[in-house]
Amino acid sequence: MSSSTSQHTINSSHEVVKQQITVAKTVLLQAVDLLDNHLTSDEQLTVHSKHLPGSTIGKHLRHARDHFVLLVDCIQSTSPRVLSYDTRIRNTPMESSLDEARAALLEAIKQLEDAVPTANFDDEISLQAVTPYMHSFKTTIGRELWFASLHCVHHWSMVRVIASEMGIQLTEDFGFAPSTLVYQGELNRRSQ
């Protein structure tokens, strides 16, 4: 590989890392915006959905954040790296307190900003999953950061449903995948 090709690969790699951090921060900051500008009481975090049994906004915020935190813990561990999204603590303070939720989300962003830039996105991880059978899959740090961001969007769409049940209007992009927003933007440009 020539030095210019090698340098291009390094620059491309750094760009991918920056882009993935930006996506992760964007979706997590949407939840911070939800807490700061749309929810007005701790109780709104614990209202049970009529359409999504067992769901509350607080549970979805915690669950989506957990994926990032578990991944950061994995990134910071030594090889061989093992990741399990099934090892989560439930009924945490962030599920019932706006202040605790905000602090937990901002801490997750800080952890991502600290851990991800030094990570090699191609480093292998063993992902362990209960499906309900125990399985182990090979994956990479980069793939799992991408997954955590899309997983977060999926949960924000359920938060959107619960907020709507309470009469809370959220921003148009909350709970939509980046690819959907790009597609909608292209459709809007074509129709103009």
Per residue in 26-64, pLDDT tens? 999 999 999 999 999 999 999 999 999 999 999 999 999
Return the bridge partners of 129, or none: 135
Percentage of the residues of the chain whose pLDDT score is greater than 90: 73
Task: Locate the domains of the chain by residue range.
Answer: 2-191
Our measurement of the distance from residue 79's CA atom to the centroid of its chain's CA atoms, rounded to an integer in Å, reads 24
Write out the CATH class of domain 2-191. Answer: mainly alpha
Give backbone dihedrals phi and psi of 48, rounded to 5 degrees, phi first: -80, 135
Report the alpha-carbon distance of residue 24 to residue 43 in Å, rounded. 27
Per residue in 136-173, pLDDT tens? 999 999 999 999 999 999 999 999 999 999 999 998 88
The whole model's pTM is what?
A: 0.87
Non-local CB neighbours of 137 within 8 Å, separated by 6+ positions: 126, 127, 129
In the three-class reduction of DSSP (H, G, I as helix; E, B as strand; rest coil), residue 173 is classed as coil
